[in-house]
Amino acid sequence: MPGSSKRQRGEIEKLPSGSLRVRVYAGVDALSGKRNYLIETVAAGPKATAEAEKVRRRLVHQVDERRNPRTKATVNQLMDRYLELLDVEETTLDRYEQTIRVHIRPLLGHIPLAKLDGETLDNHQAILRRCRAHCDGRPFVEHAISGAHECSEKCRPHICRPLATSTIRKVHFCLSGALGRAVRWRWIIVNPLDQAEPPRGGRSDPNPPTSDQAAAILNAAFPDFMWGCFLWLAMTTGARRGELCAMRWDLLDLDRAVLTIRSSIAQQGTRTWEKDTKTHQQRRIALDANTVALLQTHRRQCEQNAEAVGIQFGPKGRIFSASVDHSTWLRPSSVSNRYARMCRRLGWEMNLHQLRHYSATELITAGVDVRTVAGRLGHGGGGSTTLRAYTAWVSETDQRAMKASGVRMPAPPLVEGDHHTTPAPQERNESDSPYKRIAADLRAAIACGALAVDDSLPTVETLCDRYEVSAGTANRAVALLRADGLIKSSRGRRATVRSVVADR
């Protein structure tokens, strides 16, 4: 056989080792613009020539059927292109870039996309589960300073610590988005992530403060009245820290006891800016009497402080601010650090986000409808996120379950001497009536915006199933809302929320 045998399409070249290299032209590389070839090597042997011809025909068919990769790009090149076209918020993009830089590029970046397979991705995930530093198991010293230096107590032997499940899922999400686009761009034909094992689902383990801890936190915070009000609102509204920093006086209606949340403060390094809320929707949160009283006192103090230095207090100022005229907002990182330091002085390791967990848990424990809680927290999905990630199990809930009106148990006999007697049923408080509890939940949903103007109320059948009551009880709750002027209804049509502001 001559040194090379050319065919009509593709060529088979004999290498010095005796092996045969098959090369078929596959168009122009989608990324580099250079000529792209499909290359495969056949080992030397008596049947190498026939096997090489089969390979050549197979590669030609791949090109004809457009099943061949259009580029020889590596994972690093794909990630560059993916981040360039990704349309997300700046803070989200920064987290993606960090995840890709730390956990994807060092291990997979040099691999061509065409050679990426399920086994490689499974091995990559196994490395992350074994050690977040991607070590190979050999002992080494983690130096606090790079370069030549004298080691101190900060230079310690490396201890393997697995990467958190949530971070592994974040890595998987970045790979999924990038490889999905590579398939759409026809850089690759098959998504190798479909052949790999997905990471196990993350478990939500909220750990909100207990009631005693919450009381101690407020007692430690209220010597600085503004700081105490900040943490009080975090506990009672469940707002995110960026939303708390962005709150404005003109969005607070103390007469109607309603707080409107429209924006949030984002931070990257030392730079801060105002943006939409996480779910890109505003919400109205009803406030209790204690919260209204605290905010009224806080506003009077702010006005007095501004008047003392001859500064006009603007109506669009921030509710919580370090400036006298309240024209600036607090940094989200500053309030988080201050809260963590205060809790450490009290003997606890806590973060500010746990107050959001505390708010959700306490509301659901008190019997507030899940959809109402989701509306206050700004969650979507009809409350599934609220139940899955933001509520902690407390023993009080378990105890109240057996006291609920929907739980029907026979009255136990009491033993008096040699006779069995049945205790007389205790009188129930009128305020605990099922129809009043249903009306209170719906009223709160309307106040916080979970049920907006012209939204339909849940059907009577839905209320019956949700609260385990009769149709008469559900209708009585709806009638109570109609009497309060919160809803409107007509024969043959479902009740809808009225425009409360316009009607008043």
Q: What is the pLDDT of residues 304-324, one digit of tens each?
A: 888 888 888 777 899 999 999
Query: Looking at residue 212, what is its pLDDT?
Result: 87
Query: Looking at residue 147, what is its pLDDT?
Result: 79
The DSSP element (H or E) to which 487 belongs, if any, is: strand 487-488
Query: Looking at residue 406, what is its pLDDT?
Result: 46
CA distance 284 to 275: 17
> What token pair was written down for 78?
């794909």
Burial of 289 from C-beta contacts in 10 A (0-12 / 13-18 / 19+): exposed
Higher pLDDT, 260 or 34: 260
Query: Looking at residue 497, what is its pLDDT?
Result: 85
Average pLDDT over residues 200-217: 81
Buried b (16+ CB within 10 A) or exposed e, 350-375: bebbbbbbbbbbbbbbeebbbbbbbb
Roughly what angle, to the nearest 10 degrees, separates helices 434-448 and 460-467? 110
pLDDT at 135 over 50: yes
DSSP secondary structure of 327-383: -S---HHHHHHHHHHHHHHTT----TTHHHHHHHHHHHHTT--HHHHHHHHT--GGG
CA distance 316 to 131: 50
pLDDT at 248 over 80: yes
CB of 237 within 8 A of CB of 283?
A: no
Query: Looking at residue 204, what is its pLDDT?
Result: 65
Residue 113 is classified by DSSP as G
**pTM attached to this predicted model:** 0.62
Q: What is the pLDDT of residues 462-481, one digit of tens each?
A: 888 778 888 878 888 888 88
User: Rg of the chain's alpha carbons, rounded to an integer?
Assistant: 32
Query: Looking at residue 1, what is its pLDDT?
Result: 44
Give the largest Cα separation in the chain, rounded: 112
Q: What is the pLDDT of residues 173-197, one digit of tens each?
A: 999 999 999 988 888 888 999 888 8
Angle (CA) 269-148-157 rounded to 5° is 75
Chain centroid to CA 109: how far? 27
CA distance 329 to 321: 5
Coarse DSSP helix, strand, coil percentages of the chain, rounded to the nearest 5 percent: 45, 15, 40
Could you tell me the pLDDT band of residue 383, with boundaries at 50, 70 and 90? Answer: low
Angle (CA) 294-298-303 rounded to 5° is 150
Query: Looking at residue 351, what is its pLDDT?
Result: 93
CB of 329 within 8 A of CB of 318?
A: yes
Query: Looking at residue 428, what is its pLDDT?
Result: 44
Roughly what angle, to the nearest 10 degrees, separates helices 75-85 and 90-103? 170
Burial of 279 from C-beta contacts in 10 A (0-12 / 13-18 / 19+): exposed
CA distance 264 to 206: 23
Phi first, then psi: what are they for 11, rounded to 5°?
A: -145, 155
Q: What is the pLDDT of residues 34-67, one digit of tens each?
A: 787 878 888 988 888 899 888 888 888 777 766 6
The mean pLDDT of the chain is: 82
Question: What SS3 class is residue 442?
Answer: helix
Residues 6+ apart with CB under 8 A from 306: 312, 313, 324, 325, 326
Query: Looking at residue 65, what is its pLDDT?
Result: 63
Residue showing tokens 């490396």: 158
Query: Looking at residue 481, what is its pLDDT?
Result: 85
Query: Looking at residue 66, what is its pLDDT?
Result: 64
Residue showing tokens 């030609």: 60
